[in-house]
Amino acid sequence: MGDFDVDWLRLRGPADVRARAADLPLLLRPHLPKRSPLKVLDLGCGTGSNLRALAPVLGGAQSWLCLDADTDLLDRLADETHAWAEASGFDWDATDRRVTGAEPHLTCTPDLNCTLATRRFDLARDLAELPIEGIGLVTASALLDLVSETWLAGLVSQCAKVQVPILMALTYDGRVAFEPALSLDREVIEAVNRHQGRDKGFGPALGPGANGRLAILAAAQGYWVEVRTSDWRIRRSERALQTALIRGWSRAAREEVTASDQAGIAHWEAVRLAAVERGCSRINVGHRDLLAIPRRA
Ligand SMILES: C[S@@+](CC[C@H](N)C(=O)[O-])C[C@H]1O[C@@H](n2cnc3c(N)ncnc32)[C@H](O)[C@@H]1O
């Protein structure tokens, strides 16, 4: 079991779905290879939320290979996708893990016919063995802030070699805004952002700088790059998500400051949690989505 459990991925799911930049998959569609099915590689797939967000918008015949180091999460991917398919009006075939049907909101999208496969794969250790040959789209969501500069450069260079489009959603970018605001907010989030730079298994993490680095690395490899903000706009009613975030930020920030500053952060946490409890707290968490298209595609 890794640092990302099923409950956390479920908790963030609705905020993720609302935040995604809707136009990037539509911009991507004409640049996808014409061969069918479209082969998609999902890096750090967790329980498959990227597939569920993206596959219906892309439409048509797709074959997803979903990679993650955490087998607990991979084991849940088919069940989570089955439940989502039923709730969204798609058909689910358990034998060959296939989702079929029409996306009810997108009349121009061809009917979805999407199979999914999962594979345990340590991206940090085995990047050189990434099964990228024949892939028509490399994608990930909520992964890039974990990775290092060296790793990201290696990934972009592999993608450029096979001229594959890249779509990276929901990369944390370091901006957090609270309502109501507190005087300590800035200090806490600055400490959180320093903590983000700690090694998450890939070497020193890029944290909030990851999306900007990806844009530069991809452009240098000849990609046309489009970036959108995809901020979480967490509602007053989303108390569980706010509580989990505030507790996590407080923990991370306290690891970054001196003992004398830790009490202030603990107080910040208590005041913030009380505001959540009273239903008067809203939080905006900055994220970016990035689409990179090989210029020759
Ligand atoms: C924040 S979660 C995002 C999961 C999913 N993409 C989503 O949007 O819900 C980050 C994911 O990266 C995976 N991960 C972290 N380090 C990894 C590694 N070295 N190799 C493969 N996957 C890794 C975690 O197991 C987790 O599923």
Atom of ligand 1 nearest to the CA of 2: 25
Q: Provide the greatest CA pair distance for the chain.
A: 61
State the DSSP string of 31-74.
Answer: GS-SSSSEEEEEET-TTTHHHHHHHHHH-SEEEEEEEES-HHHH
Atom of ligand 1 nearest to the CA of 200: 16
Q: What pLDDT score does 217 carry?
A: 98
Query: Cβ < 6 Å from ligand 1: which residues?
Result: 2, 4, 9, 44-46, 49-50, 68-70, 73, 121-124, 141-143, 146, 201
Q: What pLDDT score does 1 carry?
A: 45
Q: What pLDDT score does 297 carry?
A: 55
List domains and CATH numbers for the chain: 6-173+199-231+286-294 (3.40.50.150)
Test site for ligand 1: of 146, 198, 199, most ligand atoms within 8 A of the Cβ: 146
Test site for ligand 1: of 1, 4, 76, most ligand atoms within 8 A of the Cβ: 4
Test site for ligand 1: of 1, 40, 68, 206, most ligand atoms within 8 A of the Cβ: 68
Q: What pLDDT score does 240 carry?
A: 98
Separation CA 7–CA 46 (nearest Å): 11
Nearest to 54 by CA among 119, 118, 124, 112: 112
Q: What pLDDT score does 2 carry?
A: 60
Q: What pLDDT score does 104 carry?
A: 72
Give 45 Cα–ligand 1 centroid separation in angstroms: 6
Give 84 Cα–ligand 1 centroid separation in angstroms: 20
Atom of ligand 1 nearest to the CA of 70: 25
State the DSSP string of 198-224.
Answer: S-SSSSS--GGGHHHHHHHHHHHTTEE
Q: What pLDDT score does 281 carry?
A: 98
Q: Where are the alpha helices (DSSP H) in the chain?
A: 6-19, 23-28, 49-58, 71-88, 123-126, 149-161, 185-195, 210-220, 239-256, 259-277
Atom of ligand 1 nearest to the CA of 140: 6
- Tens digit of each residue's pLDDT (9 = 90 or more) over 9-67: 999 999 999 999 999 999 999 999 999 999 999 999 999 999 999 999 999 999 999 99
Per-residue pLDDT of the chain (297 residues; tens, 9 = 90+): 467 899 999 999 999 999 999 999 999 999 999 999 999 999 999 999 999 999 999 999 999 999 999 999 999 999 999 999 999 999 999 999 999 998 777 767 789 999 999 999 999 999 999 999 999 999 999 999 999 999 999 999 999 999 999 999 999 999 999 999 999 999 999 999 999 999 999 999 999 999 999 999 999 999 999 999 999 999 999 999 999 999 999 999 999 999 989 999 999 999 999 999 999 999 999 999 999 999 975
